[in-house]
A and B are shown apart, each in its own frame.
Chain A
Amino acid sequence: DIQMTQSPSSLSASGGDSVTITCRASQSINRNLHWYQQKPGKAPKLLIYAASNLQSGVPSRVSGSGSGTHFTLTIRSVQPEDLATYYCQQSYSYPWTFGQGTKVEIK
């Protein structure tokens, strides 16, 4: 199985800050990397697909980059509604696997 490792596990940011979450794959996955946001008590929601494509309806202050084994999710000008846990997920090979998550808290 391909292992996905996210860092940091948690972070705290003030409103207006920019935050960056990193996801590393245990082997190259090209651009088969996706990002999800999960708010407490809710299902995960797709933010970014294929490393850098913004899902419809997601604000443009969210962006993704990377390829191969190293990927990043950046949220500019963090807002209170960004309080959530963020997961990366690879679909390069079965079984599809998720990172362990990054919990974002707003100061």
Chain B
Amino acid sequence: QITLKESGPTLVKPTQTLTLTCTFSGFSLSSNGVGVAWIRQPPGKAPEWLALIYWDDDERYSPSLRSRLTISKGTSKNQVVLTMTNMDPVDTATYYCAHRGEDSSSVAEYLQHWGPGTLVTVSS
């Protein structure tokens, strides 16, 4: 059974750096084909994909946020970390991590399992 859970601060001040941790179980990020993504969702809006890290350390980012984001494997084998610099009130959102799935026939990638999310508010 695959599970993921996000953790980190619930409140950050403008200009501060946000660090979120995704702790997962049921799969290994060192196994071929595995990936973990971060997605955020401002209140009342659609989800926005932020970044993805693959088992081979390949990293992909949203171009509009690339200069502010870093995704990495955590010091613990079952963790992925997202850092976002220079936080602003518009970054207030629920942040999710998700396990990447892949359709073997089409090689399409999708977000198969999601964590419950963590609400981050940016305010002074």
Contacts and interface: CB of A to CB of B under 8 A. Distances in A.
A38 B116 CA distance: 11
B112 A55 contact: yes
B108 A98 contact: no
Contacts of A71: none
B55 interface: no
B54 interface: no
Contacts of A72: none
Given A94-B60, A99-B46, A43 B108 contact: no
A30 interface: yes
Contacts of A1: 63
A44 B108 contact: no
B47 A98 contact: yes
Interface residues of A, number: 27
Interface stretch (A10-18, A45-53, A75-83): A45-53
B14 interface: no
A31 interface: yes
Interface in A80-107: 87, 89, 91, 94-101
A100 to B, nearest CB: 5
Nearest to B112: A46
Interface of B: 37, 46-49, 52, 60-64, 96, 101, 103, 105-106, 108-117
6 contacts: A44-B96, A87-B46, A87-B47, A91-B110, A94-B60, A96-B52
